[in-house]
Amino acid sequence: MDQHSVITNPVLRGFHPDPSFIRVNDDYYIVTSTFEWYPGVPVYHSKDLRNWQHLTNIVTRNTQFQGNPDSCSVWAPALSYYNGVFYLVYTDVKRSKYPFKDAHNYLITAPTIEGPWSEPIFLNSGNFDPSLFHDDDGRKWLLNVHWDYRIEGRNKSAGIAMQEYSPVQEKLIGPIYKIFDGTDLRKTEAPHIYKHHDDYYLMTAEGGTGKTHAVTVARSKKITGPYEVDPLNPMLTSAHNEKLYLQKAGHASLVETQTGEWYIAHLCSRPINGYSILGRETALQRVFWTDDGWLRLECGGNEPEVEVKAPDLPLHPFPNENNEYDDFDDEQLHPVWNTLRAAPDYSWCSLTERKGYLRIKGGESLHSLFDQHLIARRQQDFRCEVKTALEFEPECFLQMAGLVLYYNTDNYLYLYLSHDEKKKKCLQIMRCVRGEFEHLDMCIPIEGTLCHLRAVIDDEKVQFSYACDHEEWTKVAGEYSILHHSDEGNGFTGNFVGICVQDMQGTKKYADFDYFSYQAKSNGGK
């Protein structure tokens, strides 16, 4: 196929799970989950479904997520639009420890996709994956997973529940309807309702968000059910073909183009040796309605394709976002950067205290759920080179600054400058692998002021190097595995690369970073 007529998957690379996909006139928007990373809920915009651009972020308040555990906070945001108003419902998960879900669902609205967004309206608690359906008569219905901790086994999903939302009273009203029990695939979640002709279609994720993930479709003449399951269910899955480039296909949402073509956005991953280091990503598939009223992949079968026929829309590329290099010359952080559980507070993260440098003052350890002074960006390529340079004069071993590869508080790899009582300023490595901390037996004395650090990632391996002032790069002995920086058994995010500073004495010792570079190499991976 001609490259201009093809959508190449994934359209959102790196950590971009749980896509919610809508069209407003000639504009297409996708939002995704962000969990503990700030800012929450990025919005990606397209005119042609081939080219996508990060436009804005929706959940940007700074008081909601500090203290939330790894892979909690913002789950499965669902975007919708009705009568000139954008709606977003999302879950703030405070704790997800078996068998309970301490989770709260909220609604915010805005006149435009770029805001301003309203204060959150509380909806309900104890469940997750909300979505809002606007019926033809103007009534609004909130759907969410029906979570029942009493069910035997690890899976506590008891299907999908629904309740009416009153925009006048700004709360849920009326009875709660149990509209769907799920199928034998189980783990029913991520509900969306669509109306096509005279039928209501319920699209859900099933099978869990791992290898057996799938999309289930059911339909009903009444919004409250009963819902009949597609006889060829699941509509989409990667579960039975380990050779597929796109694995974990599921968690989908549906859009019709202005030209009458249909597409779903869905979650997927591209594992390396069985591990999803880049996290769960977003792909598009072209679909159609059969004569008997079921949704099918245009390519046939139910497996996701890498190359998909694009819609009959004019090509609309966007200017280069220049996400590869940050010289820290601006007065605000580049949109590519993310922080943990809170916005970057310029009392610890300043671009103005020393012009041309990012000054980060030391915070708590990499295990902290409250005050980590770290900025990072998604790893989006199997092979990439990451570089930075910093000036840092630590005075004790509790002060450190450097280059970090970070999945969560239990999984990271950190090349950093610190202070040793005998060797003074030195370069060291620490790592945490599935909760097991290790301080590696390496302490390289560092001379000079400016220290360059480099990480070259090649699929599941990383090679560190350093250079002092204007000297040549020197490799740090050995390659290190980052297979543990993955979703498998660890969480729901993906690997990030970034910079950070700790001062566990509490004196806020700072480091000045001169630049940060992220350069993709050849593809690698599968």
pLDDT digits (tens, 9 = 90+) for 364-414: 999 999 999 999 999 999 999 999 999 999 999 999 999 999 999 999 999
Share of the chain above pLDDT 70, in %: 98
| CA angle, residues 347, 367, 364, in degrees to nearest 5 | 30
The C-alpha atoms of residue 449 and residue 28 are separated, in whole angstroms, by 48
Confidence of residue 67 (pLDDT cuts 50, 70, 90): very high
Task: Please compute the mean of the pLDDT values over residues 215-223 and round it to a whole number.
Answer: 98
Question: Which one is predicted more confidently, 444 or 477?
Answer: 444
Share of the chain above pLDDT 90, in %: 93
| Tens digit of each residue's pLDDT (9 = 90 or more) over 143-200 | 999 999 999 887 889 999 999 999 999 999 999 999 999 999 999 999 999 999 999 9
How many other C-beta atoms are found inside a 10 Å radius of the C-beta of residue 35? 25
Q: Which helix (H) or strand (E) holds 456?
A: strand 450-458
The C-alpha atoms of residue 515 and residue 353 are separated, in whole angstroms, by 15
How confident is the prediction for the chain on average, in pLDDT? 96
How many other C-beta atoms are found inside a 10 Å radius of the C-beta of residue 168? 6
At 193, phi and psi to the nearest 5? -110, 140
Q: Is the pLDDT of residue 454 over 70?
A: yes
Q: Which residues fall within 8 angstroms of residue 108, CB to CB, at 6 or more apart?
A: 58, 59, 87, 88, 117, 118, 119, 120, 121
Task: Please compute the mean of the pLDDT values over residues 412-420 and round it to a whole number.
Answer: 97
Q: Is the pLDDT of residue 300 over 90?
A: yes
Domain boundaries, the chain: 3-309, 325-520
Task: Please compute the mean of the pLDDT values over residues 122-135 and round it to a whole number.
Answer: 97
472-to-96, 235, 453, 465 alpha-carbon distances in Å: 47, 54, 12, 10
Beta-bridge mates of residue 10: none
At the second CATH level, the architecture of 3-309 is 5 Propeller (2.115)
The C-alpha atoms of residue 250 and residue 259 are separated, in whole angstroms, by 25
Write out the DSSP string of 260-310. S-EEEEEEEE--BTTB-TT--EEEEEEEEE-TTS-EEETTSSS---SEEEP
Q: Is the pLDDT of residue 14 over 70?
A: yes
The yes/no answer on whether domain 325-520 falls in CATH 3.30.450.20 is: no
Confidence of residue 500 (pLDDT cuts 50, 70, 90): very high
Q: Are 28 and 49 in contact (CB under 8 A)?
A: yes
Active site residues: 18, 189
> pLDDT value at position 321?
82
The C-alpha atoms of residue 159 and residue 151 are separated, in whole angstroms, by 12
| CA angle, residues 500, 505, 511, in degrees to nearest 5 | 35
- Encoded amino acid at 214, one letter: A
How many other C-beta atoms are found inside a 10 Å radius of the C-beta of residue 292? 6
Task: Please compute the mean of the pLDDT values over residues 342-370 and round it to a whole number.
Answer: 96
Q: Taking the mean position of all CA atoms in its chain, how far away is CA 275?
A: 16
> pLDDT value at position 102?
95
The C-alpha atoms of residue 429 and residue 404 are separated, in whole angstroms, by 10
> pLDDT value at position 523?
66
The C-alpha atoms of residue 446 and residue 467 are separated, in whole angstroms, by 9
Q: Which residues fall within 8 angstroms of residue 285, CB to CB, at 6 or more apart?
A: 236, 263, 264, 266, 297, 298, 299, 304, 305, 308
At 387, phi and psi to the nearest 5? -135, 150
Q: Are 298 and 287 in contact (CB under 8 A)?
A: yes
Q: Are 352 and 52 in contact (CB under 8 A)?
A: no
Task: Please compute the mean of the pLDDT values over residues 72-84 and round it to a whole number.
Answer: 98
Q: Which residues fall within 8 angstroms of residue 472, CB to CB, at 6 or more apart?
A: none
Pairing of strands 85-95, 102-110: antiparallel
pTM: 0.97
Q: Which helix (H) or strand (E) holds 57?
A: strand 53-59
| Tens digit of each residue's pLDDT (9 = 90 or more) over 82-124 | 999 999 999 999 999 989 999 999 999 999 999 999 999 999 9
The C-alpha atoms of residue 275 and residue 407 are separated, in whole angstroms, by 13
Q: In sequence order, which ranges of 339-461 are alpha helices (DSSP H)?
A: none
Q: Which two tokens stand for residue 270?
A: 């591209």
- Encoded amino acid at 440, one letter: L
- Encoded amino acid at 261, one letter: E
Least confident of 55-64, 132-141, 221-230: 55-64
Task: Please compute the mean of the pLDDT values over residues 7-36 and round it to a whole number.
Answer: 98
203-225: b (≥16 Cβ within 10 Å) or e: bbbbbbbbbbbbbbbbbbeebeb
Write out the DSSP string of 155-189. --EEEEEEEEEETTTTEEEEEEEEEE---TT---E
> pLDDT value at position 346?
87
DSSP state of 61: -
